[in-house]
Structure 1
């Protein structure tokens, strides 16, 4: 994880629980309508710049000039702060992906069944992210990655990794320029929502096609493969 997620509510609804006061984000009640966000596309990313919060369309993926493989889309919370690839991003490029949920594929032999995972109360989620700032200047293939953590309890039955989903308070602290890299590590450890905050259900395998984008993708199905 994380390889696909949903970002479909209006951005006003997604950001409302954060109670933003210091932001440069204009009012916009139009639904984003992305039920199948895939890597390699531009994603609305919440970040702090010049003392204000901004929402910028940023490339999902990170491949610096010396990296000869496909862009990476995730970074492990346990190692990102100290590794060669992500340490500079952890220090200066912390951001948040507002989302409504994400998809994971449960595997058994050659069978794969997608599940949609979301907050039990259907509240917006905030994925911890790191990337190449500043985000108002697009960098080709040097966008952002979603920070992941180990799954626990029942969620591990679907996948052993999940996005690091922050509480509202932790999300604001994570983005703050006043937060040190060391404090960010503490936030990653202590500010994440527990497994008990989520629900999940099987969904149509149509989510496997990135061209499918409608709301039927998050509907529960009655005949899962697994």
Structure 2
């Protein structure tokens, strides 16, 4: 985890939830739904970040590989090691961001196959998933990219998968992505302020989600 999620709400829904002050953001008004029910690695994803003390939404490649990395790009970073490890330390210090989502998918082995589940907040609110990436996010080239920060699943979620995205409440999410928030404070936010596992629920969904070409509301409908 996290290997697939949804981002089907409107930009205004997400920005209102995080209490992003319109005076402090450089984001055009857009009431149209993003309408992505099957966001996959290797695609461009809208992420929220701060530069020059203003919030920006940019379409950024999901996946990161530094120049010395000769394997497929990574899509996740473990919160336990991201702040100090060689791979992600610089991103943790200077490239923190938030990925808005409505939920994410996990696969659980059942019988001879794997059953996908859709996991979302019980209260129906959006998710502010912690992310780190290569800045500047506004560039549009092959050297950019981001990863989703993950944490141990905890409680009932571990029955589905042992990892989950690090989801932050709105105030903590805004502090997390600020450029003047020190790296050690970001570590404390990640350790102490994430949304707990008991705030999520899940249900089985169609195996059609396994094909990245499939989109639509049917993918999140309970079986």
TM-score scaled by length of structure 2: 0.97
Q: Residue 220 of structure 1: SS of its match in structure 2?
A: coil
State the distance in 2 between where 1:133 and 1:109 align.
44
Q: Residue 199 of structure 1: SS of its match in structure 2?
A: strand
The alignment of Structure 1 onto Structure 2 pairs a total of residues equal to 221
Deviations along 1:90-110, one digit per CA (max 9) or x if unpaired, are 000000001100000012454
> Could you tell me which residue of structure 2 aligns to residue 15 of structure 1?
15
Contact 1:77-1:147 within 8 A present in 2 as well: yes
1:153 corresponds to which of 142, 152, 155: 155
Deviations along 1:64-90, one digit per CA (max 9) or x if unpaired, are 111111100000000000000000000
Contact 1:15-1:98 within 8 A present in 2 as well: no
Show structure 2 runs of 5+ residues with no match: none
> Could you tell me which residue of structure 2 aligns to residue 220 of structure 1?
222
> Could you tell me which residue of structure 2 aligns to residue 204 of structure 1?
206
Q: Residue 114 of structure 2: SS of its match in structure 1?
A: strand
Q: CA deviation at 1:202?
A: 0.3
Q: CA deviation at 1:25?
A: 1.1
Q: CA deviation at 1:137?
A: 1.1
Show structure 1 runs of 5+ residues with no match: 222-226
* Runs of at least 4 residues off by over 4 Å: none
Q: Residue 36 of structure 1: SS of its match in structure 2?
A: strand
Q: CA deviation at 1:141?
A: 4.8
TM-score scaled by length of structure 1: 0.96
> Could you tell me which residue of structure 1 aligns to residue 186 of structure 2?
184
**Over the residues paired in the alignment, what is the CA RMSD in angstroms?**
0.9
State the distance in 2 between where 1:170 and 1:127 align.
11
> Could you tell me which residue of structure 2 aligns to residue 224 of structure 1?
none
Q: CA deviation at 1:18?
A: 1.5
Q: Residue 171 of structure 2: SS of its match in structure 1?
A: helix
Listed as ranges, the matches of 1:47-58 within 5 Å are: 47-58=49-60
Contact 2:156-2:198 within 8 A present in 1 as well: no
1:39 corresponds to which of 34, 37, 41: 41
